[in-house]
Each structure stands twice: as C-alpha cells, then as structure tokens.
Amino acid sequence: MTNPFHEPLTADNAALLLVDHQIGLFTGVRDISVGELTHNVTCLAKAALRLNLPVVVTTTAADSMWGPLIPELRAALPEELEIIDRSTVNAWHDDRVRSAIRATGRDKILIAGVSLEVCAAFPAIAAAAEGYGAYVAVDASGTFSTTKRETGLLRLQQAGVIVSDYASLAVEILADNAHPLARDLYADLDMPFATLVGQLAAAHGR
C-alpha cells in the first residue's frame, strides 16, 4: 500500500484549513506566546495565498462565545473570502466545511487551529480517516496547557497525521528556490535570515 505522505506537497495537491483563530480563544493560549502564534498563522495564510492554495477558514460561535477572527489574520485574507461560522466541535462534521474542502479537488490538507488538540486535531484525524493526507502546522496552532499540547501531538501521530512547522510546509510546496515566487514567499513567511541574504545578493547584483 502506498504511503500518501511519500508524495510531496505541491501547489496543485494541497489546500489550507484554518480553524478557530478567534480573539476569545487566543486569550487562553499558554503553550506559545500570542504574538508568535499571531505571526505564524498570519504568515501561513499569506504563504498559502502566494502559492495559490485554496484556503478554507472557519470559526465557532463568532457572535457569542469566542468572537471574530484575530484582526491580523482577517486582514491577510481576501475580503471576499467567506468565513464559515459553525456550531460543531469538529470542523469536519460541518457539511459546509467538508464541502468546501472537497470542492478544492485537493487531496492534501494543511490544518492549523486553536486549540491544537481539538480544533486542529479533530478535523485532521477525520480527514485522514477519509483518505486525505492531513498535515498540522503545530506552530500556527495553540492550546491552553503543555499537557494539552503534548497529548494532542501524540494523538495526531497515533492517527497518522503529519505534524510540522508552518514554514516547512510552505517551503516544501515552493520546492525550488529559483522559482519566481521564492523571494516573495520567504517575505510572506517572515524569515529574517532569508530576507537578509536576499538583500545582500541584490546589493551585489546577483
């Protein structure tokens, strides 16, 4: 049986699902600083759009319990992008979310969510069970304690979901640093060392 994770991520086979990066939930995040989490998920969204990946975004009870998306992420997304607000704990159990993913025609899903062990893990495990290649960007997700983070990561790995950092997923899709999008993509990822090297190369006419 072929392992779906042996096939690399590409701009043609991957889509991004962002789950519940909401103001109210961010107030409880303890395993990563709120500033770093905001930076990482916003960079991930920008990189996905740069690479032309379909992006599906969902919230839970945005008008009551958890509030709207964090403003930095909302600003990075196209104005016309519909945010799917749902009530189900597992985003995969919402027909609109599942239909939006299926409509992309992609068989690999990059997922980030708050919290990691629920909002990212539950749809990732459900997608993997349906045959998708599921990847969770751990540093673009957050949760409420170290224990929740550790047990969430264990459960993801037990279910066959790939865990990664956000930048590695984007760079795998880029594949070639000679690609015309490379410089802009690294800027989207906000990797200062890459930006500095690019500036030095430009200064020396390379």
Read off the CATH number of the domain in which 44 is found.
Answer: 3.40.50.850
pTM of the model: 0.93
d(CA 42, CA 36): 10
Looking at residue 200, its pLDDT comes to: 45
Within a domain: residue 135?
yes
What phi-psi label fits residue 53: left (phi over 0), alpha (psi between -120 and 50 degrees) or beta?
A: beta
Looking at residue 1, its pLDDT comes to: 46
For the chain, how are helix, strand and coil distributed in percent, rounded to 5?
50, 15, 35
- Taking residues 32-60, report their average pLDDT: 98
Within a domain: residue 161?
yes
Domain membership of residue 58 as a residue range: 12-175
| C-alpha count within 13 angstroms, C-beta hemisphere, residue 34 | 13
Within a domain: residue 202?
no
- Taking residues 167-173, report their average pLDDT: 97
Structural domain count, the chain: 1
Which positions are annotated as active-site residues? 119
Looking at residue 5, its pLDDT comes to: 59
Within a domain: residue 198?
no
Within a domain: residue 201?
no
